[in-house]
């Protein structure tokens, strides 16, 4: 095979992001040379009209490529990056526990994406959130019970793919029992093999049996499966387990290779080669890929084939699986849809909240309430999406509180060191009837837990508080 043909095959396994609100020339030229996919992020969005123009620009250059986003609904959103998601997110859907509601939510998301010509959604999150202090999964998960998470993962996959958009169950083989963020470090899962079989792998097995179009790898070391390699670089995890034991036939997509857990030591080009050699088919390069970075990755893959460190047959297989995914889910476009009918009602969302006896007493107090939100930095997957009651415009600064006014203090990730606890004590000492509200996964101590911070959840929360 000629070097040109190998280079085209290599391009058929890559999915870069880019900086800006219009497609750069290097990206459009890469489509002409076989680029398989592009991933859009919240930073590529300033309005839906602009997004529609961007997607049209990309589709005109490459009608058959994969155009992807991370649109989980809930806290992780790209289409609704500017205001917050109109969907409650997985944790709330899991607590509603109606697979028809879950499927409808996913289908509504799929119809929104399809209207822009987006045909691959890097969702749902199929992780079982078994570690309350998990810094990167939390409310992105359907819950801590594996059978429960598997049922809702299947419903979400089927709902999305019914709308003509490929689903991607993530983060294989399971990121729910981690205490580190793989954007910033290389997490390790120490659970025994039997636990992994009964917990982490169950939702992914169910998704594979349901015909999910793709599954995303995680940059974590699962010691009972492969103590030496992160899952993204592990033939044991990707070939022996995912392909062999779980029988997955679709495309294997990597999580972003610019994350520290993947490339922090070896660099993105080397990470790309290792992932392909291990069994990955489509490589997510990162949200701010430059022309130089893209060329470095492309040249690194081509060189690895020439040197024999990446078998040509493996590259051909990866490109073929990626092309099949694009063929199975061709892009469609049309008018943006109104998905409000598929969004759980505010009362249904509120029914999933946890309330302490203190919260019940606070809510029964007829005094006027004020909501104060403490800004809490989100993980990289969430980004800078408006969240919590502040996204509704209903919060006030602490300095504007009236004497004796009752207060709801809102935050997320309320661990023992969070400043919410000291502020709550200070407000109580000053005569304010004060409760604490957790908009994330509960870690203990909060009076109300909403299991999400999306606009949909926050609107329901504000109706409860005020």
- pLDDT single digits (tens) 12-66: 999 999 999 999 999 999 999 999 999 999 999 999 999 999 999 999 999 999 9
Closest to 86 in 3D by CA, of 67, 55, 69, 108: 108
Q: Say whether both 333 and 386 belong to one domain.
A: no
Centroid of chain to Cα 429? 40
Write down the residue that tokens 């099949």 correspond to.
324
pLDDT value, residue 300: 97
Q: Say whether both 288 and 409 belong to one domain.
A: no
Q: Say whether both 85 and 218 belong to one domain.
A: yes
Cross-strand partners of 214: 168, 251
Q: Which of 49-58, 95-104, 190-199, 338-347 has the lowest mean pLDDT?
A: 338-347
Domain boundary among 306, 340, 374: 340
Q: Say whether both 361 and 285 belong to one domain.
A: no
Mean pLDDT of 400-416: 96
Q: Say whether both 298 and 432 belong to one domain.
A: no
Domain boundary among 313, 340, 367: 340
Cis before residue 218, ω within 30 degrees of 0?
Answer: no
Domain count within the chain? 2
Pair of tokens at residue 373: 């939100």
Residue 166 pLDDT > 80, yes or no? yes
Mean pLDDT of 88-92: 98
Contact 222, 238 (CB under 8 A): no
* Catalytic (active site) residue 432: no
Cross-strand partners of 68: 39, 120
Q: Say whether both 194 and 313 belong to one domain.
A: yes
Q: Say whether both 280 and 220 belong to one domain.
A: yes
Strand order in the sheet with 354-355: 354-355, 448-449, 434-438, 406-411, 369-373
**Cβ-proximal residues to 466 (8 Å cutoff; 6+ apart), any chain:** 369, 371, 394
Q: Give the SS3 label for residue 107.
A: helix
pTM of the model: 0.96
Stretch (H or E) spanning 406: strand 406-411
pLDDT value, residue 375: 85
Domain boundary among 312, 340, 368: 340
Q: Say whether both 355 and 251 belong to one domain.
A: no
Contact 215, 248 (CB under 8 A): yes
Q: Which domain holds residue 134?
A: 3-340
Q: Say whether both 301 and 383 belong to one domain.
A: no
Contact 188, 156 (CB under 8 A): no
Pair of tokens at residue 32: 């002409």
* Catalytic (active site) residue 255: yes
Question: Pick the catalytic residue: 171, 175, 183, 219?
Answer: 183
Residue 117 pLDDT > 70, yes or no? yes
pLDDT value, residue 335: 60
- Confidence class for position 187, pLDDT limits 50, 70, 90: confident
Per-residue model confidence as pLDDT tens digits over 168-185? 999 999 999 887 776 777
Instruction: Please provide the average confidence, as pLDDT, over all residues in the chain.
Output: 95
Write down the residue that tokens 């000629």 correspond to.
2
Stretch (H or E) spanning 448: strand 448-449
Phi first, then psi, for residue 318 (nearest 5°) are -65, -45
Question: Pick the catalytic residue: 226, 255, 281, 447?
Answer: 255
Q: Say whether both 198 and 96 belong to one domain.
A: yes
Q: Say whether both 328 and 355 belong to one domain.
A: no
Question: Tell me, what CATH number does 220's domain have?
Answer: 3.20.20.300
- Confidence class for position 341, pLDDT limits 50, 70, 90: low
Q: Say whether both 273 and 375 belong to one domain.
A: no
Cα–Cα distance, 428 to 448 (Å, whole number): 17
């Amino acid at each position: 095979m000629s070097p040109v043909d190998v280079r085209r095959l290599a391009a058929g396994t890559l999915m870069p992001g880019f900086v800006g609100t219009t497609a750069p020339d290097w990206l459009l030229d890469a489509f002409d040379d076989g680029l398989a996919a592009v991933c859009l992020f919240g930073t590529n969005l300033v309005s839906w009209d602009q997004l529609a123009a961007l997607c049209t620009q990309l589709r005109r250059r490459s009608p058959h490529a994969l155009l992807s986003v991370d649109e989980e609904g809930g806290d992780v959103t790209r289409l609704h990056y500017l205001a917050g998601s109109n969907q409650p997110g997985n944790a709330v859907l899991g607590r509603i526990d109606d697979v028809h509601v879950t499927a409808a939510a996913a289908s509504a998301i799929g119809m929104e994406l399809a209207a822009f010509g987006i045909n691959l959604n890097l969702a749902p999150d199929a992780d079982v959130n078994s570690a309350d202090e998990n810094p990167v999964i939390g409310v992105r998960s359907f819950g801590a019970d594996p059978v429960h998470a598997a049922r809702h993962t299947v419903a979400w996959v089927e709902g999305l793919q019914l709308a003509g958009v490929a689903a991607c169950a993530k983060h294989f083989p399971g990121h729910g029992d981690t205490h580190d963020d793989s954007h910033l470090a290389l997490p390790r899962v120490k659970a025994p093999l039997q636990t992994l079989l009964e917990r982490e792998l169950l939702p992914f097995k169910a998704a594979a049996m349901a015909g999910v179009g793709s599954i995303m790898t995680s940059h974590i070391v699962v010691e009972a499966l492969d103590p030496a390699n992160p899952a993204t670089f592990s033939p044991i995890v990707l070939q022996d387990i995912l392909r062999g034991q779980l029988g997955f036939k679709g495309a294997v997509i990597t999580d972003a290779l610019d994350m520290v857990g993947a490339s922090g030591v070896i660099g993105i080009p080397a990470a790309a080669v290792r992932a392909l050699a291990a069994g990955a088919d489509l490589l997510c390069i990162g949200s701010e890929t430059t022309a130089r970075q893209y060329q470095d990755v492309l040249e690194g893959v081509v060189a690895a084939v020439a040197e024999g460190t990446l078998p040509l047959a493996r590259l051909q297989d990866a490109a073929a699986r990626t092309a099949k995914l694009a063929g199975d889910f061709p892009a469609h476009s049309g008018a943006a849809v109104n998905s409000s009918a598929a969004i759980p009602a505010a009362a249904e969302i509120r029914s999933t909240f946890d309330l302490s006896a203190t919260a019940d007493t606070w809510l029964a107090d007829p005094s006027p309430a004020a909501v104060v939100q403490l800004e809490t930095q989100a993980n990289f997957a969430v980004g800078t999406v408006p969240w919590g009651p502040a996204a509704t415009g209903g919060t006030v600064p602490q300095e504007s509180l009236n004497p004796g006014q009752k207060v709801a203090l809102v935050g997320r990730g309320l661990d023992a060191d969070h400043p919410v606890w000291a502020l709550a004590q200070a407000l109580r000492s000053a005569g304010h009837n004060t409760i604490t509200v957790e908009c994330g996964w509960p870690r203990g101590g909060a009076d109300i837990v909403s299991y999400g911070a999306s606009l949909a959840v926050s609107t329901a929360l504000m109706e409860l508080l005020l």
